[in-house]
């Protein structure tokens, strides 16, 4: 099977509009060539939150509770990736896989 991603960038940003959680957003790219992966599934396992990447490989999840998370990324024909992440209250973070 193909390896799923060159890297997955997750950017955790804060927003006053979301008192209970934060916004989780990022891009999903193919390992070979770095092409964006459209329509990949993104799931935050602990909170049962999910999103799908757009045509450019971009995704965004709102109201993600603060704390340690396991992000699962799936796409038909590719290896499933699981990424450990931590959502902080006021500190943006970035993860590369």
For the chain (length 97 residues), average pLDDT per consecutive 10?
Answer: 56 47 81 88 92 91 86 91 82 45
* Integer Cα distance of 25 and 17 in angstroms: 16
* Integer Cα distance of 66 and 89 in angstroms: 6
* Integer Cα distance of 74 and 28 in angstroms: 10
Q: What is the pLDDT of residue 66?
A: 87
What's this model's pTM, rounded to 2 decimal places? 0.74
Q: Cβ distance 79 to 3 under 8 Å?
A: yes
Q: Cβ distance 5 to 96 under 8 Å?
A: no
Phi, psi of 85 (to 5 degrees): -140, 160
Give the CA-trace dihedral at 85, 44, 21, 92, to 10 degrees: 30
Instruction: Tell me which CATH code domain 8-95 carries.
Output: 2.60.40.4130
């Amino acid at each position: 099977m193909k390896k799923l991603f060159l890297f997955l960038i997750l950017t955790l940003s804060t927003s006053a509009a979301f008192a209970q959680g934060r916004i989780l957003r990022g891009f999903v790219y193919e390992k070979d060539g770095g092409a964006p992966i459209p329509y990949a599934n993104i799931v935050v396992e602990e909170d049962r939150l999910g999103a799908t990447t757009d045509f450019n490989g971009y995704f965004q999840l709102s109201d993600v509770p603060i704390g340690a998370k396991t992000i699962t990324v799936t796409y038909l024909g590719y290896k499933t990736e699981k990424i450990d992440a931590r959502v902080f209250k006021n500190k943006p973070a970035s993860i590369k896989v």
